[in-house]
Amino acid sequence: MNEKSSEKKVRHVLGLSGGKDSTALAFYLQGRVPDIEYFFCDTHKELPETYAYLKKLEILLGKKITLLESERGFDHWLNVYGGFLPSPKARWCTKQLKIIPTEKFIGNDKAISYIAIRADEDRVGYISTKPNIKPVFPFMKAGLVKEDIVKIIEESGIGMPEYYNWRSRSGCYFCFFQRKIEWVRLSEIHPNLFERAVRYEQEHSDGRKYSWNQEESLRELIKRKDRIIEDHKKMMELKKKNLPNRPLMEVFDSVLDDEAEDFCFVCNL
Ligand code: SF4
């Protein structure tokens, strides 16, 4: 095999999350990286806004987004794990629904994996331990920060994902990394999904009860809804004073970042 044909075997892959950063990276790499493959790890439990956004993205990119794990979503794996809900300390969901499918998709091929970490972020994202997968960070390399990413999104014509009005990150509607105010907003904007999240806490054949949030169940949380909204408003007021003339979305984002204890490096790019 000559050098040229072995070079051809290197795949270029970009995992999309339905969030702004990976979306912006897809547009940024258009024309820069030919033959890039887009994929999305489908838990079957994303917000409807995310699925709609991905469809729009596929049209604008003019290229198929491969859905991974489209035949076995969260419920399949919940069953395998005996009904044990995932949590920040037991993140089987990320492993089974994101990491393993991604590594299977790439297999033993040599691949360059494009990761949408920005230059203004203090995190590394998920890096595969497989030696055939080489991570690269185009935004970090080019020194692009949040403002640049917003500009790319605006110029591409896709706009921000709709859920950014009430939630700061992509991921499953019941993601345990959500802030309290995001649970409240979920109950208002998607009451059916909130109820489904409650049912995941309550319905187990052996009578066990779990909660998404370590401190309280969703029923308990929602009883304190007014207080949570009030606290959030106060935080927003404080933040607005520190971030004058900034768009409301940025203020909201910043408040949630302050409250963040953790989030998913794999799901929320
Ligand atoms: S978004 Fe949250 S619940 Fe869904 S797979 Fe990622 S960590 Fe798990």
pLDDT tens digits for 26-52?
A: 999 999 998 999 999 999 999 999 999
User: Which atom of ligand 1 lies closest to the CA of 74?
Assistant: 5
User: What distance in angstroms lies between residue 234's CA and the mean position of ligand 1's atoms?
Assistant: 29
Nearest C-alpha neighbor of 198 from the set 208, 186, 207, 211 = 211
Q: What is the pLDDT of residues 98-127, one digit of tens each?
A: 999 999 999 999 999 999 999 998 776 667
Which residues, judged by CB distance below 6 Å to any ligand atom, belong to the binding site of ligand 1? 43, 86, 91, 93-94, 97, 171-172, 175, 177, 264, 267
Please say whether the dihedral angle defined by the alpha carbons of residues 48, 185, 76 and 64, taken in this order, is positive or negative.
Answer: positive
The number of angstroms, rounded, from the C-alpha of 184 to the middle of its chain's C-alpha atoms is 19
- In degrees rounded to 5, what are phi and psi of residue 132? -80, -10
User: What distance in angstroms lies between residue 75's CA and the mean position of ligand 1's atoms?
Assistant: 13
Dist. CA 16–CA 22, nearest whole Å: 5
| pLDDT at residue 19 tops 90 | yes
- In this predicted structure, what is the pLDDT of residue 259? 53
Residue closest by Cα to atom 3 of ligand 1:
175
User: What distance in angstroms lies between residue 64's CA and the mean position of ligand 1's atoms?
Assistant: 23
Instruction: Please give the mean pLDDT across all residues of the chain.
Output: 87
User: What distance in angstroms lies between residue 123's CA and the mean position of ligand 1's atoms?
Assistant: 18
DSSP 109: S
Dist. CA 36–CA 31, nearest whole Å: 10
| pLDDT at residue 1 tops 50 | no
Distances in whole angstroms, Cα of residue 127 to Cα of each of 35, 79, 113, 132, 218 = 22, 28, 9, 12, 33
Mutate which of 84, 267, 268, 269 for ligand 1 pocket (most atoms within 8 A of beta carbon): 267
| pLDDT at residue 93 tops 90 | yes
- Sheet strand arrangement including 36-41: 65-68, 36-41, 11-16, 111-114, 133-136
Long-range contacts of 183-186 (CB under 8 A, 24+ apart): 183/213, 183/218, 183/221, 183/222, 184/221, 184/222, 184/225, 184/228, 184/229
Average pLDDT in the 41-66 region?
96
Q: What is the pLDDT of residues 145-178, one digit of tens each?
A: 999 999 999 999 999 999 998 998 889 999 999 9
Dist. CA 26–CA 17, nearest whole Å: 11
> Do strands 11-16 and 111-114 pair parallel, antiparallel, or not at all (unpaired)?
parallel
